[in-house]
Each structure stands twice: as structure tokens, then as C-alpha cells.
Chains A and B, each alone.
Chain A
Amino acid sequence: MLGYLTRRLFYAVLAIWAVTMISFFIINLPPGDYVSSYVAQLAIQGSIIQAEEADNLREFYGLDKPMYVQYFKWMNQILHGNLGFSFEFGMPVNDVIGERLLLTMILAAGTIVFIWLVAIPIGIVSAVRQYSIWDHTFTFFGFVGLAVPDFLLALVMMYFAFVLFDFSVGGLFSPEYVTAAWSFGRGFDLAQHMIIPIIILGTAGTASLIRITRANLLDELRKPYVSTARAKGLSETRLILKYPVRLALNPAISMTAYILPFLVSGSIVVSVVLGLPTVGPILLKSLVAQDMYLAGAIVFLIGSMTVVGTFLSDLLLVWADPRVQFEGR
């Protein structure tokens, strides 16, 4: 067990390292560098920096050093909690991001909970009552949910909410709570507003999970240990929940780990469409404006959080199915 977990931790760290490299790569993609952007911005504001001064600045920031040195300097800054400066917003990146990162993660976590609460029971019913009207209905909706891209779903729901209910979908807080401190009331307000985004984000994941649960449960239901349990005199409900469902949960857990990156991606898109105060909209803005420190920082944070989340679900998987660690892959 310990060996397995150490291995997964190691790979998670590797993944995060890859994320930092990609983020750094993104930061440096556009032509020019930090100092030239800084100079350009100052020029807009009216002050002119001489070329010599600019070069001094470059030396100061280490921008004349080779790439890998710059990389280490950037990483060093990050580890000290300083994510850089955003030109677009004119303030440190940390301030721009603020609580948005937290909200993004809450949204992703909430969606996972939603997916599990909805998909597992539906998957079970679908498998146990195979070919019934319920099964076919759920399977159909499942497919539709899988096929519609998140942003489209967001658009469609916004449309119907607006047209049918004259209800504007958007934002995660009511006006009075937007800048308030955290409290129970604020949390409750957040929960209410999150329902629609979660439903939108969760449809594809729910569809996948339903299909996977149903397929695996169908396989397990045919297995001999189910007959044994029945021959012992267990009632149908108890035996289904205790044995085949328990075993079908394992692929479900690993699937959840798999969709976490997609969830985070999807939340970016949905946040843009719905105007949610999460990381998504500012990522988009920063990219369009080529505000690369902000963009790189966000990519780094999001990527790392996702890797961490994947690692956590690996832990969950090992706890749920001890056989996983023996996989001699």
C-alpha cells in the first residue's frame, strides 16, 4: 500500500512539474518579454524609459540570462507565493485571482458530488431493470448529455431560463454577498447560485458515469458470487447493494479521477458563458490581451490543483479496491 501511494505521489509531482514547464512556455510564447511589456505600458501612461534603463531592468530581472535560469527564478517566486504582475489589470496576479480559484475548485467539487449523487442510483436502476422503459430513457438522456458541449448546454439553458422564466442566469452570488466575508449566509447563497452551473457542468460527467456504472453492474450481476449470495438467502436489494454495486463502484471511482481535468476545463468555458466569478473569465481575458504572467499563473494553478485532485481520487480508489495496488502493469 505504501509503495503504491509513494509511486502515485511521485508521478503527481512529476505532473505538476510538467505543468509548470508548460505554463512557463506559455508565458514566454508571445514575442517580447516582461520588460518590454512594462516599458510599453509605461509609454502609454506617458513615461518613457530609455533603452539603457530598460536593459538595466532586464539585468535586474534576470531576463538576459538563459531560459532555464529564468524558469528557476520564476519557480522560486511562485514558491514564495508571488505569482507575478498583471498588466491588464494593473495589479499583482494574486490580487486578481483572489478568491476565484477557490470558487473554481468549489464548483468542480460540487459538480463531482452532484454527478455521483445522480449517476450512481440511475446507473443501478438501469442495470437492474435492464431494457425497461427507465433504462432506455436514461440511456437516451445520457447520450444526449454526452454529446452536447458544455458551452452549448449553458447557452441553451440560459435561453430557456430567460425566455420561459424571465430569469437571468449568471454570477455566483447575490449582490449583497459579492464582497462580503465568508459566513453561513454567504455559503448558502453560493450553493443556490451554483445549482445551474453544476447541472450544466455535470451533464456530460453524469452521462459517462451512468453508462459506466450500468455496464459494469451488468457484468457483475452475471457473476457467480451473486448467485452464492442469493443462495444464502439475502434479499435482492441488500445483495445487489452489498456485492455487485460495491465492485462496480471501482471503475466509477477511477472514471471520476479521469473526468476531473475535463470538469475543470468545462468549468472554464461555462464560467465564461455564464459570467461566473471564477478563474475562467479572467483566463480568457488575459489570453486575449496577452497578459502572460496572469495567464501562466492561472494555467499553473489550475493544472496543479487538477493533478492534486487526481491523486486524491487515486487514494480513494486504493481504499475502495485493495486489488489495485497489485496491478503488475
Chain B
Amino acid sequence: MNIEQTETEILNTGTEPLLSVKDLKTYFFTDEGTVKAVDGASFDVQSGTTLGIVGESGCGKSITAKSILQIIDSPGRIVDGEVNFNPNGEASRNLLEMKPNGSDIRSVRGGDISMIFQEPMTSFSPVHTFGNQIIEAIRLHSSLEIKEAHDLAVDWMSRVGIPNPEQRMSEYAYQFSGGQRQRAMIAMALCTEPKLLIADEPTTALDVTTQAQILDLLQSLQKQNGMSIMFITHDLGVIAEIADTVAVMYLGRVVEVGPVETIFSSPKHPYTKALLSSVPTVYAAPRERLPSITGAIPHPQNRPSGCAFHPRCSSYMSEICSVKEPELLSVGTDQQASCFLYGRD
């Protein structure tokens, strides 16, 4: 993470972001009721930068990512919002307007936008070889022959640091270690040179050492080809290391957005503040109680009225917080937060 680089890049590409998500709403219509997994999320990804999306389990981060590519399983459905994608600097297209599973969105999937997932073991088919699956990705988005695609795949496998790539091509997922599987997944995602890589908790299932290696790998690949990364995690430490911009999500909405240093040094939203202060630190006094956020995350079906965080908020204001829902407002030069502390609507 590099302060100067981030700012220059934001200035250089102008204000048109690579990906702009506005007011995304994805609901799950189950027998027990409607679950509003994502209920109005908005954020931007500038090209060449890394946006980190952070939040507790169940806040809707993964669903948001999947909604961008329209790969939500039923009974989920995207009910509202725009996802404007602008890979070439020309007019942006709203991805959500593309026919579900139609050829338009399918050329974006794996082509301009690639996605990697949390569980590399189960994300590969156990009965097809690696080579088969990577070559398939390549040939879906290019007109390469099998031989050429094969060579390209081997090239990428070595770029991500897998030893003996030629041999690996004819092996199966269960024959790899966890870290190598994740590298293979990255190779498969990047071999089509996407403009945006969505990484859905890719390091959560890995041990700390491997995690560090994967993060380094991602950063160096990003430097090489200038792609953007949307990195989803619940681990604040990872965010600190890899993100340029951070979006904090709570119960399906983005509650704060801003550059990573600003978020960490002066968080504005009470939830962000509480999150940061609950991270154990070496500098705490001995025997001091670990601060935690009071209450528990409500079930998405029992959404509190008004601001979703208000039952647990230490800055709760009774006249408004339980009545109206706050919008994302600018706070400072480059930060946004959705909280009535910073202005009424």
C-alpha cells in the first residue's frame, strides 16, 4: 500500500471510476420470509487501485460481489441498483441490465472481471484436471488454440509461483496444497487479463504465512498489469496491508467509505470506530477488558428500524436514529459515512 501511488492514480484517471455500484439491493425470497442480504450498497472502484470491503460475517459482502457478476443462486434476486462498469474509458454499461446468463454478461465474467473464492479446494471440480479448467477459462475469452492456451496457462502458473507447472496441468485439485490451490485459482482468474479482480475472502482459509504470500503475490501482479482489485474480508489486518480504499459494510449497507489511512486514523461512523477499537493491541494496559460492541448482529429478517446499527450504537440519538435511515454523506475531503452525527438529510 502506497500513499503517493494511490493519490496519483486517482488524480490521473480522472473521476470516472472503473466500477461504480449504486444502491444495490439483493433480496432472498425464502419460505420463512424475505432476507434483505444487501439493502442499498454503494461504492466505487478506481482503476489500478484496491478497494477493500470489510464487515462482519453475514453483512452481505459476498452477496454484493456475486451480484456484480449476477451469479446469485435462487432464491436470491437482485431487485434494484446499478453496477456501472467502464473498462475502456468509454461509456460505462450497467451490468445489471444485461440479460442474466446472456452472452453479454458472460463475456464480462472471467473476461473483464474475474472472481476468486474463499475455498480453493471446493472451487475446483474434483474430477477435471487443472489444465482442463484453466484452458477452458482462456478459450472462453480468446480465440487461442488448445496448444496456445496450454502454453499460456503454464506461463501463468509459473507467474503465480507454482513449481513444476507443466506437470501440474494434468493433476487434480486434491493433489495440491491449500496455498498452491489458491495460487492456481489466481492464475485461472488472471490469465484472461481482467481489468477488475474480485477476491472474496481468498485468504481466510489459509494459515498466516501462506496468507502473507498470497497477499504479496496479488500486489505484485497488480503492479505488473495495473488491474483493480476488490478485496473482501473480515480481517482488518489484511485490509490495512492491501487496500487503498476501504468500504465498511453493516447489515447489507455500506456505512463508511474512505482511503485506508483516513479510515484507520480517523473513522467517522460509530460502527467503524467500534470495530477498530475492538482489535486487540499490544499497547493495551494489562488486564484491561477487551472492548467489544454491545449486543449482537440482528438477523437480517429482523432489521432494526431506521439506522440498522442504532441498537448497538454508543452515540445513539433517539429522535432520529430509530426513525430514519441515514444516507452516505461526505465527511471531509475523501470520506463518506452514513450517520446522522454528520448531518441530517
Contacts and interface: CB of A to CB of B under 8 A. Distances in A.
B84 interface: no
Contacts of B109: 230-233
A225 interface: yes
B140 A230 contact: no
Interface in B68-108: 69, 71, 73, 101, 103, 106-108
A275 B174 CA distance: 53
A318 to B, nearest CB: 12
A14 to B, nearest CB: 30
Contacts of A227: 66, 71, 73, 117, 123
Given A231-B69, A233-B106, A225 B140 contact: no
B111 interface: yes
Interface stretch (B124-132, B214-222, B276-284): B124-132
A243 B122 CA distance: 12
A233 B110 contact: yes
B101 A235 contact: yes
B110 A224 contact: no
A54 interface: no
Contacts of B188: 232
Contact of B107 (A224, A233, A236, A322): A233
A224 B121 CA distance: 9
Main secondary structure of the interface of B (DSSP, over half): loop
Contacts of A223: 122
B115 interface: yes
B119 interface: yes
B203 interface: no
A225 B118 CA distance: 11
A225 B141 CA distance: 19
B308 interface: no
Interface string A135-159: 0000000000000000000000000
Nearest to B124: A225
A322 B110 contact: no
Interface string A242-273: 11001100000000000000000000000000
Contacts of A228: 115, 117, 123-124, 185
A323 interface: yes
B160 interface: no
Chain B interface extent, by class = 20 to 34
Main secondary structure of the interface of A (DSSP, over half): helix
A254 to B, nearest CB: 15
Nearest to B172: A322
A246 B127 contact: yes
B73 A222 contact: yes
Interface residues of A, number: 21
B245 interface: no
Interface string B30-57: 0000000000000000000000000000
Contacts of A232: 109-110, 114, 136-137, 140, 188
Contact of A233 (B122, B124, B141): B141
Interface string B187-222: 010000000000000000000000000000000000
A227 B67 CA distance: 12
Interface string B162-198: 0000000000101000000000010010000000000
Interface string B119-153: 10011111110000000110011000000000000
A64 interface: no
Given A235-B106, A247-B125, A247-B126, A230 B119 contact: no
Given A222-B73, A232-B137, A233-B140, A247 B127 contact: yes
Interface in A180-239: 222-225, 227-236
B185 to A, nearest CB: 8
B100 to A, nearest CB: 9
Contacts of B172: 322
Contacts of A95: none
A231 B119 CA distance: 15
Contacts of A230: 69, 71, 109
Contacts of B118: 224
A108 B118 CA distance: 47
A235 B107 CA distance: 10
Given A227-B66, A231-B109, A233-B108, A323 B126 contact: yes
20 contacts: A223-B122, A224-B119, A225-B123, A225-B126, A227-B66, A227-B117, A228-B115, A228-B123, A230-B109, A231-B110, A232-B110, A233-B108, A233-B111, A233-B141, A236-B101, A246-B127, A246-B128, A247-B126, A322-B127, A323-B127
Interface of B: 66, 69, 71, 73, 101, 103, 106-111, 114-115, 117-119, 122-128, 136-137, 140-141, 172, 174, 185, 188
Interface of A: 222-225, 227-236, 242-243, 246-247, 321-323
